[in-house]
């Protein structure tokens, strides 16, 4: 009969969310890098007394702490009822990010705010969430309608690749109609990719008629919401919100799918429309300024057709740049 360790419990499950186990992806020892110098940290070898590279093995540190009856930031015990064996990935049960978010909500900066998950907001009609259109094959990318891949969502903007377009007939097939269904200032985010999961981008006026890969999430405020897309982007880019994606992203491969776990992300909800505008004004000004500048440039390019520039061609802006609160 095997003796039960002192930390064993019938009611709880020990979970370690240690991010390292001493080995690199190539199977070599993973060194600790000193951020101050950028060099490997050196420690004394207990046998030879010489200096060797320190090994980054936080899982071992958790095991040592467990044996001594101690806790670490990545070592915790959860009630058995809170653990679903169908989702036995340790990082999913990391409570740190939720605690950090709740702590931030209790500060004076968020006085009057409440908070909800994306799933709850969707159920209440305060936001709408949809997936991308689809993924045309490589041989279909010979037309005039821009095709937006995950790699085109960078630095808060949707970057159209002028060499990656599909015929309008193919676009209509993936749109399931005459138009894309997208609106100016929609928020787009990778759903299936690597470390840029959780980074939202804004679709600018003139970019609406594109085909988006199926591996994106598209979010916009609902008709009853008292906040606009710029507030949503402000909320979703808060560090205490962005960090929550670490819990729902299980791997860092190039083909990892977050499924519907992103619906568990919590964001702050403003007490009223005035407060929402106040906190997100810098985002609103930035994107509306870019949108206005793009409109001016496209007007120039339409009058001076001797230029070859990526914002012309399939992109078109009709009329003034609209406020996203109008016509939601």
Superfamily of domain 100-303: DNA methylase specificity domains (3.90.220.20)
Query: Cα angle vertex 224, ends 279, 285, to 5°?
Result: 30
**Torsion on CA atoms 263, 268, 273, 279, rounded to nearest 10:** -120
In this structure, the number of other CB atoms found within 10 A of the CB of residue 251 comes to 11
Report how far apart, in Å, the C-alpha atoms of 190 and of each of 122, 186, 195, 212, 215 are.
18, 13, 10, 11, 6
pTM: 0.83
Residues sharing a CB contact under 8 Å with residue 141, sequence separation 6 or more, in sequence order: 147, 164, 165, 166
Residues sharing a CB contact under 8 Å with residue 246, sequence separation 6 or more, in sequence order: 91, 94, 97
Contact 152, 158 (CB under 8 A): yes
What one-character-per-residue DSSP string does 3-23 give?
PPPTT--SSEEEEE--S--SB
Pairing type for strands 127-131 and 216-221 reads: antiparallel
Domain(s) labelled CATH 3.90.220.20 in the chain stretch across: 100-303
Joined tokens for residue 108: 């004076």
Q: What are phi and psi of 226, to 5 degrees?
A: -100, 25
What one-character-per-residue DSSP string does 99-161 give?
HHHHHHHTSGGGTT-EEEEHHHHHHTTSEEEEE------GGG--SSEEEE-GGGEETTEE---
Distance from C-alpha of 227 to C-alpha of 236, rounded to nearest angstrom: 13
pLDDT of residue 222: 96
pLDDT of residue 265: 95
Distance from C-alpha of 171 to C-alpha of 244, rounded to nearest angstrom: 34
pLDDT of residue 323: 58
In this structure, the number of other CB atoms found within 10 A of the CB of residue 274 comes to 9
Parts of the chain with a pLDDT under 70: 1, 193-196, 251-257, 310-328
Distance from C-alpha of 174 to C-alpha of 295, rounded to nearest angstrom: 27
Report how far apart, in Å, the C-alpha atoms of 110 and of each of 100, 113, 128, 240, 245 are.
13, 5, 24, 12, 21
């Amino acid at each position: 009969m095997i003796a039960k360790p002192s930390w064993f419990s019938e009611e709880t499950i020990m979970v370690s969310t240690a991010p390292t186990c001493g080995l690199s992806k190539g199977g070599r020892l993973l060194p600790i890098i000193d951020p101050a110098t950028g060099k490997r940290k050196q420690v004394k070898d207990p046998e030879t007394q010489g200096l060797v590279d320190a090994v980054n093995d936080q899982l071992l540190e958790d095991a040592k702490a467990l044996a001594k009856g101690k806790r670490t930031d990545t070592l915790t015990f959860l009630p058995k009822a809170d653990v679903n064996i169908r989702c036995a990935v340790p990082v999913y049960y990391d409570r740190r990010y939720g605690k950090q978010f709740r702590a931030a909500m209790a500060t004076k900066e968020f006085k009057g705010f409440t908070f909800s998950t994306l799933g709850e907001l969707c159920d209440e009609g305060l936001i709408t969430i949809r997936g991308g259109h689809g993924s045309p094959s490589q041989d279909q990318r010979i037309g005039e309608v821009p095709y937006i891949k995950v790699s085109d969502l960078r630095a808060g903007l949707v970057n159209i690749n002028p060499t990656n377009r599909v015929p309008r007939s193919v676009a209509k097939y993936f749109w399931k109609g005459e138009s894309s269904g997208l609106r100016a200032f929609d928020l787009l985010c990778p759903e299936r990719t690597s470390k840029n999961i959780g980074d939202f981008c804004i679709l600018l006026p003139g970019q609406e008629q594109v085909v988006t890969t199926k591996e994106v999430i598209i979010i916009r405020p609902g008709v009853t919401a008292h906040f606009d897309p710029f507030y949503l982007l402000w909320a979703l880019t808060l560090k205490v919100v962005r960090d929550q994606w670490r819990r729902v992203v299980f791997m860092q491969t190039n083909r990892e799918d977050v499924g519907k776990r992103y619906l568990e992300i919590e964001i702050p909800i403003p007490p009223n429309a005035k407060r929402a505008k106040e906190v997100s004004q810098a985002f609103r000004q930035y994107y509306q300024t870019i949108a206005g500048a793009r409109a001016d440039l496209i007007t120039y390019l339409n009058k001076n057709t001797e230029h070859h520039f990526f914002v012309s061609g399939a992109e078109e802006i009709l009329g003034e740049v609209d406020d996203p609160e109008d016509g939601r």
